[in-house]
Amino acid sequence: MNDQPAHLVTRDGLRDGSLLAAARLGAPPGTVFQSDEAIQADLDAALAAHAPGADVWLFGYGSLMWNPALEFAEHRSASVRGWHRRFCLWLHMGRGTPENPGLMLALERGGSCHGALFRIPAARARDELLLAWRRELFTGAYRSRWITAETDAGPIRAATFVVNRDHHRYAGRLPDHLIAQRLATAAGTLGSCASYLDQTIGSLHRLGRRDRSMERLQALLQAHT
């Protein structure tokens, strides 16, 4: 399998709109995208619930961990309770195709999740967060929300993105063997689902964390290859 991505998620591509423009052009027929105005309105509503003039923390649990594509002042390990990462969103582009769909991680209710926190200075918060909002909300499969992240220095209020269970791509709670089958074969313009899993696990290890459910999937996936 060729795992060299045809398109990279970059800060410049998110700023100038070229990444989302390419996604719209290459999307399967019938794909619905959120408008730029709707994405900005969602971000403005989130920031309206944040203390004025305060830095903003963003929690990442998937590709944001190894490719945040935004500028930040601080990066640290964190955990959240009441949410866990799970492959629960079907992918028909990016890391899958309509003929061979992949799966993407999202936060689901219950359990806990290790990940990375990024601190964005207040003066640049809206501009930088808009890049993350464009990246995560443009199909409507995720919803933004504030969560409490636990760190060695204490709890931190952070923004993140959780699954939208009302979205047509929501896959629900699939059995691990089916998830592994999809991850083993699905790929697209952003690379393969197998690489996405490996990079997630590698990022956690670099933070000094583990996710045993992801490691179980990795072992199952290796049995398919």
Catalytic residues: 136
Q: Are 150 and 81 in contact (CB under 8 A)?
A: yes
Estimate the share of the chain in helix, then strand, then coil, as percent rounded to the nearest 5. 35, 30, 35
Handedness of CA 84, 143, 166, 188 (dihedral sign): negative
- Which amino acid makes up residue 7? H
The answer for residues whose C-beta is within 8 angstroms of residue 14's C-beta and 6 or more apart is 20, 69, 131, 134, 135
User: Which residue is it, tokens 């083993």?
Assistant: 184
> What residues form DSSP beta bridges with 86?
106
Q: Are 80 and 113 in contact (CB under 8 A)?
A: yes
CA-nearest of 30, 27, 49, 20 to 136 is 20
The angle formed by the CA atoms of residues 38, 40 and 43, to the nearest 5 degrees, is 110
Phi, psi for 154 (deg, rounded to 5): 115, 180
Q: Are 134 and 37 in contact (CB under 8 A)?
A: no
